[in-house]
Structure 1
Amino acid sequence: MLNLYRAATIAAGPLAGVALRRRASRGKEDLSRLGERFGRTSASRPPGALVWIHAASVGESLSVLPLVERMLNALPRGHVLLTTGTLSSARLLKERLPERAFHQFVPIDRPDAVCRFLDHWQPELAIWVESELWPNLLRDTQLRQIPTVLVQGRMSAKSYRYWRWARGLIAPLLAGFDQVLVQTQADASRFRDLGAVQPMVTGTLKYAAPVLAAEETTLRELGNALGARTRWLAASVHPGEFEIVYQTHLVLRSRFPDLLTIVVPRHPSSASYLEKEWVSKGLSCARRGVGMELSPETEIYIADTMGELGLFYRISPLALIGGSFIDHGGQNPIEAIQLDCVVLTGP
């Protein structure tokens, strides 16, 4: 099945450039760094040991920052390459990565792009985070005898059902890992059934992550603007949960006339839709991402910026964690708990 997948990615190869440029025109790819998606880069490989860590997006990237620090401490002359696939994670990592660690976009899962990427970087160790397993990228890494490790592996029931259907694709990949470290016993059982050899339950690195940062001046200014207003936060909210936030706002507003609802959409690109939808329903909205002022009349403050979740957890006594009211599994509540928020989640 791996060979069939490989052939399909080769056949579909010409479409990849078209798709990526279309995404770039919509602001979903960095046009100036599009070459990285094809395994091409202007950056040189640093000398010495290089550890490569692949994480899907923002949450996974932030969770492995303590691991990046430990790796750099263990390798005084080494470097860490962290790959992701989203613009938001690239922007955040530009600010958060320590010296001797750097970011690249992960190459598309096409054999030629994968080959260029591995030929250029030649890592001594490859670490995958959670559940984003690209078959060509992973298999070619393993075939080059590069040690591979899966950390804080996660397998939802939905993903498990899919991979059981594609067992011929996933089994050799999981069996090829030198070590599989997973979050829960349920994850261990699912990974084992799909071909992983002796997965170990080690929990999640998110417990070791530092408290989310907040810029002191911004925190003070926002606190002054809010004063004593009653407020609550809907954090990392997905499409499918917007109506829940809206209805909750209406119920709370009937009891707290000065209520401010702060909404951090999981995907900032949905902010424009949210603003139009709720303004059409008679709510006064302000979008932080476009510089709209927060006034006493503002009812909904849409925080469509990156890297400021720590700011909003600090000013909100209560946080609803998104992703938990849809078939997704919920976003990370630990960050809110670390900052003394009362946390609400869905079923």
Structure 2
Amino acid sequence: MDKPRSPTRALRAYMMLTRMLAPLAPMHLRRRLAQGREDPARWQEKLGQAGRPRPKGRLIWLHGVGVGEVMALRGLIAAMGRADPRAHFLITSSARSSAQVVAGNLPPRSIHQYLPIDAPAFVARFLEHWQPDLSIWSDQEIWPVCTLEADRRGIPLVFLNARITDQSLEKKRFIKPLYEDVLRRFQLVLAQDSRSAANLKALGASAVEIAPSMKSAAPMLAVDEAELARMRAMFDGRRIWVAASTHPEDEAVALAAQAQLFADDPRWLLVLVPRDPKRELLLDQPFARRSAEDNLTDQPVYLADSFGELGLWYRLADAALIGGSFSAVEGHNPWEASALGTAVLHGPRIENFANDFNALHMAQAAKEITDAASLVRALKGDLAQMGLRGQSRVRRAAPLDGLAKQLLGMAK
């Protein structure tokens, strides 16, 4: 293996800054803990303090910043697990919600930990404990100190599902020397599309290949079968649709559509699943609340204010309005719904998942809606066939076994 390159002036300056700020990290995390934004039992993992022992043998470390990124890695982990039945997997993320969701969907031989704050002392503590044989980063997030320290220890680095929009490129240009240093430490960079590939090269990545998104190959979301049976009994006789991972702009459209549907036929039921279940919602319609264990009677809305249960709601619903598609969020992952045979609907703003939605449109398994009226029309259409076409498209997704073997071959 080649000797790791020395950090550039930009990376040395970044490391000096993070080293200076590191003493403030515990106070910052405790403040977030008091606000309910950190995990009370595990917040010290962000200081590099391991919450679990390292398993013996080969350990592959994979990082995704949030829920969607972590869940998208499960198909790859499953493929690597098949290729090497003795390998173990360390999954890291930053958001508290990601830990709560992934807990019910962990692949075999996998451990979840929070990524340490990107400062030398915390990262060194993390790497000295876990000693991974390969480091895989996904989507948009790579951290300079984590990358440098892994490179210094001879841990091969891979960047998968890499995505960077034109807007993101413009924001990063002023720190291009830092990104150039970091990106050139990766042995393999796989971009989701040609635009991302060009933008990564503009930031300094020396070798970029294009590969389809791995999201369509992820295993189906898990579900508690007993709870599924109970909810089916409670929802019996209702015409169910779900608005999933929603933000305020999505909710405005979904609630307006539900008001029209319910006025025409009180069997219609909207299961509303906010992206942040703890966010306070002002609903202008009667509703039952999941967290209060309310029994559904004749309310038009069921507020699913819980983490990690999309597998339950998608199985109950005929169609899903994918959140983030009416706002600057620019969409969320549609494949989880399609995998379960749920028809996919979305708003006009889907830049972050454009290729994914386009693939479903080509399969006639997704439909764009623009307002409440078009959403009502779509929900009254042939949802069953749309859902079946989406499920069929997921089953035709490219297998990840070849990529899994390639990555395992790179592990030290």
Q: Normalising to structure 2: TM-score of the pair?
A: 0.78
| Matched ranges for 1:202-221 at <5 A | 202-221=211-230
2:296 aligned with 1:294: yes
| Matched ranges for 1:131-170 at <5 A | 131-170=140-179
* Residue 126 of structure 1, aligned match among 122, 132, 135: 135
Counterpart code for 2:29: L
Tell which deviates more after alignment, 124-133 or 196-205.
196-205
Indicate conservation of the 8 Å contact 2:250/2:326, yes or no.
yes
- 1:98 and 1:236 map into 2 onto residues whose CA distance is 23
| Matched ranges for 1:102-251 at <5 A | 102-251=111-260
1:63 counterpart residue number: 72
1:31 counterpart residue number: 40
Deviating runs (4+, > 4 A) in structure 1? none
Instruction: Give the superposition deviation at 1:229.
Output: 2.1
2:26 counterpart residue number: 17
2:355 counterpart residue number: none
Indicate conservation of the 8 Å contact 2:183/2:205, yes or no.
yes
- 2:240 and 2:89 map into 1 onto residues whose CA distance is 40
Indicate conservation of the 8 Å contact 1:107/1:117, yes or no.
yes
Counterpart code for 2:301: I
- 2:336 and 2:43 map into 1 onto residues whose CA distance is 32
* Residue 285 of structure 1, aligned match among 280, 284, 287: 287
1:326 counterpart residue number: 327
Closer, same or farther: CA 230–44 of 1 in aligned 2, 3 Å: closer
Tell which deviates more after alignment, 93-102 or 299-308.
93-102
Instruction: Give the superposition deviation at 1:321.
Output: 0.5
1:5 counterpart residue number: 14
Instruction: Give the superposition deviation at 1:42.
Output: 4.7
- 1:252 and 1:193 map into 2 onto residues whose CA distance is 49
- Give the match's secondary structure for 1:269: coil
- 1:98 and 1:75 map into 2 onto residues whose CA distance is 14
Counterpart code for 1:68: I
Q: Deviations over 1:107-157 (max 9, x none)?
A: 011111011111221111100011111121112212222100011111133
Tell which deviates more after alignment, 76-85 or 87-96.
87-96
Closer, same or farther: CA 225–36 of 1 in aligned 2, 3 Å: same
Counterpart code for 2:244: A
Indicate conservation of the 8 Å contact 1:50/1:125, yes or no.
yes
- Give the match's secondary structure for 1:96: coil
2:310 aligned with 1:309: yes
- 2:51 and 2:272 map into 1 onto residues whose CA distance is 38
Counterpart code for 1:144: R
Counterpart code for 2:118: D
2:95 aligned with 1:97: no
Q: Which runs of 5+ in 2 are unaligned?
A: 1-9, 349-412
- 1:146 and 1:36 map into 2 onto residues whose CA distance is 21
- 1:93 and 1:231 map into 2 onto residues whose CA distance is 25
- 2:90 and 2:335 map into 1 onto residues whose CA distance is 26
Q: Deviations over 1:226-256 (max 9, x none)?
A: 2222332111102443322232223333333
Closer, same or farther: CA 76–233 of 1 in aligned 2, 3 Å: closer
Q: Deviations over 1:163-190 (max 9, x none)?
A: 1232122111111110001211111111
Identity of aligned residues (%): 38
Tell which deviates more after alignment, 40-49 or 77-86.
40-49
- 1:21 and 1:145 map into 2 onto residues whose CA distance is 34
* Residue 50 of structure 1, aligned match among 38, 43, 59: 59
Closer, same or farther: CA 43–228 of 1 in aligned 2, 3 Å: closer
Indicate conservation of the 8 Å contact 1:131/1:153, yes or no.
yes
Counterpart code for 1:205: M
Q: Normalising to structure 1: TM-score of the pair?
A: 0.91
Instruction: Give the superposition deviation at 1:324.
Output: 1.1
2:83 counterpart residue number: 74
- 1:90 and 1:25 map into 2 onto residues whose CA distance is 18
- Give the match's secondary structure for 1:295: coil
Counterpart code for 1:166: I
Instruction: Give the superposition deviation at 1:55.
Output: 1.3
